[in-house]
Structure 1
Amino acid sequence: MIGTVLGNRYEIIEKIGEGGMACVYKARCRLLNRNVAVKVLREEFVDDEDFIKKFKRESQAAASLSHPNIVNVYDVGVEKIGENFIHYIVMEYIKGKTLKEIIKEKGKLSVEETLDYSIQIAEALEHAHKNHIVHRDIKPHNIMVTDDGRVKVTDFGIARAATTSTVTTSTNVIGSVHYFSPEQARGGYTDEKSDIYSLGIVMYEMITGKVPYEGDSPISIALKHIEGEIEPPRKIDSTVPIGLEKIIMKCVQKNQFDRYQSAGELLYDLKKLKYSCVDDFIENTSIIDSPTQIMSNIQIENEDEEDLKGRKGKKKKNKGENSLKPILLAILLAFIVTGFVAFSFFKFKDLFVVAETVVPDLVGMHVDVAEEELEKQGLKLKIYKEIYDNEFEEGEIVSQNVKAGEKVKKGFTIGVTISKGSKLVKVPNLINKNITEVDAILREYNLDEGEVKYDYSDTVEANIIMNQFPEPYTEVEANTKIDLIVSKGPKSKPVLMPKLVGLKEKDAENALKSFNLKRGQRIEKPSDEYPEGYVIWQSIEPGVAVEPNTSVDIYISTGPEKVPEEEPEDEDVNSEVPFNLKLTLPQDGTKVEIRIDRVQDGVSETVYEKVHIADGNTVKIPLKGKLDAQFEIYFNGIHNETFPHPDKQ
């Protein structure tokens, strides 16, 4: 395959990968002069017409996806080489490693890496599912990670458009046995939740370094997906956050309806876990209240009314006789204690006076320094709150509950609010959005628009954002400026200069318009060859390739040159001959300073200088000079053209 050119466009350079269904090659697109990845189907699938039809239909559907976390599919084609047909998919070329390679290198990934990669994969799936495309083969081998950490999900070429009839009926189930869902293993109904199951297995492998099911054969592994129980990640590694384990275990439920119902739901929980400070969070489960119970009344047995009255009477009698003595003793004791306390206070009152101190100004201090400062004053510090603040660095005190300069008793506790630093903002994804939408989006995220550059693109429409810096989903401080690269659309192709000489002036102008060219300077000049009003000269030769909107200067015939009357003998033959120069101004509404210098007899002299409004009109400038004089035109002080006297033979 090396050196083969597919579609008269894609030149195969080297082999970069191989899978169960296809081989992947690095190729060069001759038309756009860029590297692409070309996936070529293996020969054993070429004769399967039913598979080929599905392959084409589903690959074209996948090509409609456009998302920063999905590898772009540029083209799908077939090429006959000799007796063989080569079916291929042309994709975006990614420089990086597969997620599988990264897991092998590191053994397992950190919580931060797992969440970051999982969020990006889930966002790719959410976009695909919204476009009714189910991947059906999510695994680390099909997930590329660029050198800067951007995830790119590949192999949407074998994805299936999601419909009610999405059922795997082939005896050879597509997908990798370690990652596919129970319904795929059974050959049953597959939908978006099948991708969620596979992503759950990928997350399991990222955080633990191993897949949940192993076996001696693919069939034994498939059976475990259908019947086996997955060992929770925390039993393998107790440092795995509880919240992450819950997310993974919900993804890999056997029953499709017990999983997340959409990639959006999964994405919500992943982001909630990543950006909250809590290791675990409560899932949305129904709260089961205790049932309402009717308690039986406490029954009092009927007693004889007289017995009851007799008991009450006895109680009152006993109470009246015995309660007086304790009350008198209590009063006596109270007098004794009160007298002792009063005597002690006046005698030792100086011992009970607590020293006071002045509260220092803590705002702006680091909390550790402030604590030391308060200890010197005999005071204590307590952190009441932590907030984001763009004015104070992390750990610095933003405010205190007792103002500086106030007096408090020693041992008093000063409450402070400390800064968590500048609040970080997650950069939104602006790629593929129109430049007119940017202001509102950035304002919503408390970010600012930075430098905007425009560049040509053969694949992106004009005014659509092609790239941004910082990249999407990175965290930056509020009010950070986001630089953008915006498409100018395809670069205009060169046009060939038409022949204008010999055409009427109006016809020449129409010819320039039809070739997307502009008329530049127009100068009238006599001609014995062409009648009045015809073009006798053009500044660019016919057939020359020029850029669109190029200006072309023309000379217009004024007819045969008039024979001057005989001049008196005493008239100077080197006298200055007048003529009119016509200049067509631009239409941009700016001010244009036109200056014309005449070079005559070795002397340069400014003969015209005036500011005009660029309104598209033609300016008629009267000039004169000897026939051998040269005239230099300057626009805003910049030399534009030098031309001879039009009457010079």
Structure 2
Amino acid sequence: MPPLLGGRYRLDKLIGGGGMGEVWQGHDEVLDRTVAIKIIRPHLADDENIRARLRVEAQLAGKLHHPGIVDVFDYGEDEEDGKPVPFLVMPLIDGAPLSALLAERGTLSTGETMAIVSEIAAALEVAHEAGIVHRDLKPGNILVTPDGRVMLVDFGIAHAAGGEPLTQTGALVGTADYLSPEQAAGRTATPASDLYSLGVVAYTCLSGALPFHRDSDIATALAHLNDAAPALPETVPDEATTLVGALLAKEPSARPSSATAVSVEAAALATSIPAPPGHAPEMSGEPTMPDAAARPDDTLPGIVERPVSVGAPGDDPATLVAAPTGGSTVAAEHERRGRPRRMVLLSSALVVLIAAALGWMLLGGGADTVTVPNVDGKSQSAATAALEKAGLEVEIRKVDVAHIKAGEVVRQSPRAGTDVDEGSTVTLSVATGRVRIPVDKLVGSTYDEAAALLDRYGLKATPLFAQSDKPAGTVIDVDPSTTAKSGATVTLTVSNGVVPRDSSNEGKGKGKKDPKEEKKPAGKKDPKPKDQPDPSQPTPTDTSTTPTDGS
């Protein structure tokens, strides 16, 4: 390896690797900063397609600037022994992939899951607005940091609108368990495809299981096309179940309209981002990119995995990712699953096979089915009338959601265009016109941050200053603290930085004497005031209040 990659970057320590590449902790000699450097393995660097993917990742990720997307500092190609050495330079991130967190804990709470969904959806919106579809969203490509953030990584197979695809015609690349139905069928991935994959991630976080995993990648792809996801645990609130169900809609048009809409709706159910493995208070360690041992299902973020033909001979999972070291929870999970999730290259022949299998199943469709009409955005009464006219039953669920007026249908399940048996029940999520207030996110933030967050929820903020030992400008209380009508004003109690006095100790130990203990001068008596009450009569109670300093 050259002493300095590109004449600038020093390789200090190998911190992880996968079947296709390595990630090093390095040092930028020009800007004097620690960085992470991704390098394609020498025996694969001659492959122009692999080098092109790394370049595309640099170009696409380099266009995106968002706290939830890992930056790309630089891309270059050096040379060693006449062979190219392509490399990508990124910040060194302190954290671990979501896949490692799931391997350690099994499941996450609804609040934690929705916090992750909200943040990743916000990052996806930035990519989608730039015309970029990630195409490989999965827990292995989501980093969880100790400071309560999640970050989207690995745009190695992302595709920009109008750009040339890096796969052959009729083929697609993705990870089988997280493929959208349209990707499984060989159609072009769109922003809605990323939302479907995010739905699979959310389902996995909430249930600890993959909703469409089957014994083979072909069967998994077909399950994405045809099967409904198993029900989430009963402990998951209806609002979260509805959102995940909408993300997993088979038709792209039936999914939420944008990543922003998902982010806002998930934020209303969110609590906090969980700490990544290895960052409990009693543990410490230097910041690194997550290593292969912490990734039971995937290679390191950004490492281009070897596309594997489904059922290809010689498909050895050990060549895809380094196995976790023994003795750890992550290693046990890796052992339990038996093999990592594979990056799938579905050939045109496989796409035909899937289409044929789908057609065969459709030929067996039953009679007396109806197509669910689209009632999203309609009033509850109009939507109910349309569904009943189509021969369907209606169930209403009230949901608190921002920016939607009361009585309007937010979502329907099954989604529009789905063929169901006549008499089936369609569940309508209808807006209450109220918004759930994210108190946990407001308390402890600055007033400006809290006001901006409330504005995202369609609410207004007004300050009420109070004495507190919290730093000046910090929100210490919220009223109301449950829900509020859309457009309503929420009072944020803000610390003025003044610590309230303890009045119970005032006057004690400060040289003041108790009047009862004062001694009268010898030989003198106090004259009896003219209005002194008769000692034989009851003494009236003094109800006045004497102001103290600072009142």
Give the alignment's TM-score, normalised by structure 1. 0.43
Percent of matched pairs sharing the same residue: 33
| CA deviation after TM superposition for structure 1 residue 148, in Å | 1.6
Does the C-alpha gap of structure 1 residues 219 and 27 become closer, same or farther in structure 2, counting only changes over 3 Å? Answer: farther
Does the C-alpha gap of structure 1 residues 224 and 16 become closer, same or farther in structure 2, counting only changes over 3 Å? Answer: farther
| CA deviation after TM superposition for structure 1 residue 20, in Å | 5.1
Does the C-alpha gap of structure 1 residues 157 and 421 become closer, same or farther in structure 2, counting only changes over 3 Å? Answer: closer
Preserved CA contact (<8 Å) 1:166 1:189: no
Letter of the aligned partner of 1:191 in structure 2? Answer: T
2:241 aligned partner: 245
Question: d(CA) in 2 for partners of 1:291 and 1:39?
Answer: 54
2:141 aligned partner: 142
Residue from 422, 425, 430 that aligns with 2:442? 425
Q: For residue 34 of structure 2, give the secondary structure of its aligned residue in structure 1.
A: strand
Letter of the aligned partner of 1:194 in structure 2? Answer: S
2:13 aligned partner: 14
Preserved CA contact (<8 Å) 1:425 1:445: no
Q: For residue 36 of structure 2, give the secondary structure of its aligned residue in structure 1.
A: strand
1:36 aligned partner: 35
Letter of the aligned partner of 1:425 in structure 2? Answer: L
Does the C-alpha gap of structure 1 residues 240 and 75 become closer, same or farther in structure 2, counting only changes over 3 Å? Answer: same
| CA deviation after TM superposition for structure 1 residue 192, in Å | 0.7
Letter of the aligned partner of 1:239 in structure 2? Answer: T
Residue from 259, 262, 273 that aligns with 1:263? 259
Q: For residue 175 of structure 1, give the secondary structure of its aligned residue in structure 2.
A: strand
Does the C-alpha gap of structure 1 residues 93 and 421 become closer, same or farther in structure 2, counting only changes over 3 Å? Answer: closer
Question: d(CA) in 2 for partners of 1:117 and 1:224?
Answer: 25
1:346 aligned partner: none
Q: Does 2:81 match 1:82?
A: yes
Cα offsets for 1:251-308 (capped at 9, x unmatched): 1122111112310121232124449xxxxxx974561438999xxxxxxxxxxxxxxx
2:385 aligned partner: 289
Preserved CA contact (<8 Å) 1:232 1:249: no
Give the alignment's TM-score, normalised by structure 2. 0.50
Does the C-alpha gap of structure 1 residues 98 and 425 become closer, same or farther in structure 2, counting only changes over 3 Å? Answer: same
Does the C-alpha gap of structure 1 residues 93 and 444 become closer, same or farther in structure 2, counting only changes over 3 Å? Answer: farther
Greater displacement, 67-76 / 38-47: 38-47
Preserved CA contact (<8 Å) 1:21 1:42: yes
Q: For residue 201 of structure 2, give the secondary structure of its aligned residue in structure 1.
A: helix
| CA deviation after TM superposition for structure 1 residue 215, in Å | 2.6
1:205 aligned partner: 204
Letter of the aligned partner of 2:186 in structure 1? Answer: G
* 1:458-537 alignment runs, 5 A limit: 478=492
Cα offsets for 1:89-118 (capped at 9, x unmatched): 111211111111111111100111101111
Q: For residue 175 of structure 2, give the secondary structure of its aligned residue in structure 1.
A: coil
Question: d(CA) in 2 for partners of 1:156 and 1:208?
Answer: 27
Does the C-alpha gap of structure 1 residues 53 and 246 become closer, same or farther in structure 2, counting only changes over 3 Å? Answer: same
Does the C-alpha gap of structure 1 residues 288 and 195 become closer, same or farther in structure 2, counting only changes over 3 Å? Answer: same
Does the C-alpha gap of structure 1 residues 239 and 14 become closer, same or farther in structure 2, counting only changes over 3 Å? Answer: same
Question: d(CA) in 1 for partners of 2:185 and 2:493?
Answer: 53
* 1:68-107 alignment runs, 5 A limit: 68-107=67-106
1:489 aligned partner: none
Does the C-alpha gap of structure 1 residues 19 and 446 become closer, same or farther in structure 2, counting only changes over 3 Å? Answer: farther
Q: Does 2:61 match 1:65?
A: no
Greater displacement, 282-291 / 254-263: 282-291
Cα offsets for 1:360-393 (capped at 9, x unmatched): xxxxxxxxxxxxxxxxxxxxxxxxxxxxxxxxxx
Letter of the aligned partner of 2:71 in structure 1? Answer: N
Preserved CA contact (<8 Å) 2:462 2:491: no
| CA deviation after TM superposition for structure 1 residue 70, in Å | 0.8
Question: d(CA) in 2 for partners of 1:430 and 1:7?
Answer: 44
Question: d(CA) in 1 for partners of 2:440 and 2:218?
Answer: 51
Question: d(CA) in 1 for partners of 2:247 and 2:446?
Answer: 26
Does the C-alpha gap of structure 1 residues 287 and 215 become closer, same or farther in structure 2, counting only changes over 3 Å? Answer: closer
Question: d(CA) in 1 for partners of 2:84 and 2:166?
Answer: 29
* 1:605-624 alignment runs, 5 A limit: none
| CA deviation after TM superposition for structure 1 residue 135, in Å | 1.0
* Structure 2 unaligned spans of 5+: 272-374, 390-436, 465-473, 476-480, 482-489, 497-551
Letter of the aligned partner of 2:265 in structure 1? Answer: D
| CA deviation after TM superposition for structure 1 residue 211, in Å | 1.1
| CA deviation after TM superposition for structure 1 residue 208, in Å | 0.7
Question: d(CA) in 2 for partners of 1:423 and 1:181?
Answer: 33
Preserved CA contact (<8 Å) 1:78 1:88: yes
Question: d(CA) in 2 for partners of 1:205 and 1:189?
Answer: 25
1:175 aligned partner: 174
| CA deviation after TM superposition for structure 1 residue 421, in Å | 13
Does the C-alpha gap of structure 1 residues 424 and 250 become closer, same or farther in structure 2, counting only changes over 3 Å? Answer: closer
Question: d(CA) in 1 for partners of 2:133 and 2:44?
Answer: 21
| CA deviation after TM superposition for structure 1 residue 5, in Å | 2.6
| CA deviation after TM superposition for structure 1 residue 153, in Å | 0.9
| CA deviation after TM superposition for structure 1 residue 220, in Å | 2.5
Letter of the aligned partner of 2:240 in structure 1? Answer: L
Preserved CA contact (<8 Å) 1:185 1:222: yes
* Structure 1 unaligned spans of 5+: 276-281, 294-419, 432-436, 449-468, 483-649
Cα offsets for 1:291-346 (capped at 9, x unmatched): 999xxxxxxxxxxxxxxxxxxxxxxxxxxxxxxxxxxxxxxxxxxxxxxxxxxxxx
Question: d(CA) in 1 for partners of 2:59 and 2:448?
Answer: 25
Preserved CA contact (<8 Å) 2:53 2:156: no
Question: d(CA) in 1 for partners of 2:176 and 2:123?
Answer: 22
Question: d(CA) in 1 for partners of 2:56 and 2:448?
Answer: 30
Does the C-alpha gap of structure 1 residues 169 and 93 become closer, same or farther in structure 2, counting only changes over 3 Å? Answer: same
| CA deviation after TM superposition for structure 1 residue 177, in Å | 1.4
Q: Does 2:219 match 1:220?
A: yes
Preserved CA contact (<8 Å) 1:424 1:477: no
Does the C-alpha gap of structure 1 residues 97 and 290 become closer, same or farther in structure 2, counting only changes over 3 Å? Answer: closer
Preserved CA contact (<8 Å) 2:54 2:88: no
Letter of the aligned partner of 1:178 in structure 2? Answer: D
1:415 aligned partner: none
Does the C-alpha gap of structure 1 residues 423 and 140 become closer, same or farther in structure 2, counting only changes over 3 Å? Answer: closer
Preserved CA contact (<8 Å) 2:27 2:34: yes
Question: d(CA) in 2 for partners of 1:423 and 1:171?
Answer: 48
2:540 aligned partner: none
Q: Does 2:126 match 1:127?
A: yes
Question: d(CA) in 2 for partners of 1:141 and 1:35?
Answer: 23
Question: d(CA) in 2 for partners of 1:283 and 1:244?
Answer: 18
Preserved CA contact (<8 Å) 2:113 2:270: no
Q: For residue 287 of structure 1, give the secondary structure of its aligned residue in structure 2.
A: helix
Preserved CA contact (<8 Å) 2:115 2:269: no
